[in-house]
Structure 1
Amino acid sequence: MDPNTEDIDIPVAKGPRLRLLTVQGRRRAFKLEDAFWQALEYIARRRKQRLSAYVAQLIGNDSGNATARLRVAAIEWFMREAQAEQPAHAKERWQRIIDLMAEPAFVIDRHKQIRLFNSSMRNFVASVGAQSHLRFELAAEISRVLMLFDENEQRILSIPCSLEAGQQSWKATVRVTLLERAHGHALLLCVLHPSSSSRPSQSTR
């Protein structure tokens, strides 16, 4: 394999696209949806950088979830675009963004109410047989979550959560990203970790 090659696209039947990039002298594989790749490529061009150089700058020496960091960088670009739009149009943009994600994803407000969700989340709920209103509970107060974003300059937080529908409940972990925050208003993107959701159990309440 030529180490000087910028990147290689590996076709995937559906969903995210796998690409190999040379990052700090090593070939690394990243899987992202096309819209996120396009956003990252656009940002790299604006910065007059190769995509691989920009990716290396984003992930640094972090051994964590590098793909999640790339997705957040793309989302932050979408956020800047949305801030220039009218609120109604911004909501449509957030819906388009989460619809691009292969993982179950939804947007909550500072009261932990689900405002938007994608088809993967809808399919997840249907797969566990939930037929009634979905209730979501984050294992942290939103004020504390916002404080963590401020104090630690975190871009992604992994937080336990619970979901309930009718007599069924299950535990999961969500990756949380701050989308908007102004004048007491906040929107947070929650991505359900694909391997963290447990089988639903019967509620004892």
Structure 2
Amino acid sequence: MCLRSLSVYVYSVLLTFCIAADCGPRLKYAWGDALQSNDCPGPDGTPYPKHLVNRALKTGPWGQTRQARSTNTLDPTLMRRALLQAHEGYAEGRTRPDNRTGRGMNLGASPTGACGGARLCRSRYNTTAPMYGVSLTSGQPVTIVQKFPDLLQQVVFEVCESSECSLVRGSCTQTYIPYLFLVLPLGPVTLTGQDYVLVESGCVCRPDPLS
């Protein structure tokens, strides 16, 4: 009986791992990646609501705006490459962000996690087009509108890979930044139904206080 329960547990863990791997990165407040899979299950295990997304694109307040546009959308792979290049430039200090293009307020995040030019906390970064998230305004799960290739809301995330700082004594702390997404159900932030979801934005060193 115990052996059977153990095998069921192992199977469920492997199944969860496979689903997570197929869906893309699992961040703290967002998961799924529309560039990797369009069948990622939601928080209650149900499939991604493509029919609701399609209906919103046709009849929703922002769907009507998009229908009025006649220009083609940018290739998602080109957008991904541009995001990664921009992030790399910011991290190395080669590029300065333009405040006019900011979409959110950085919550105490340091873009480089560095002091004196030396990176103190090891991290990794990539892009994702999250399919689900946790609303910053309500704390409830929301569906992030993604429809390949017509409407992809791609973001850059950067997560800690070390828990202790190098060069100085201290701990590495994950930082987050709120991104504004089109979501379902419609969010309360803008008239078009957007809402904020926190996304990992870097890794900073918090030095230990002097004894």
TM-score normalised by structure 1 residue count: 0.26
Where relative contact order (Cα < 8 A, 6+ residues apart) is larger, the structure is 2
TM-score normalised by structure 2 residue count: 0.26
Question: Going by fraction, where is strand more abundant, 1 or 2?
Answer: 1
Q: Which has the larger radius of gyration?
A: 2
Question: Going by fraction, where is helix more abundant, 1 or 2?
Answer: 1
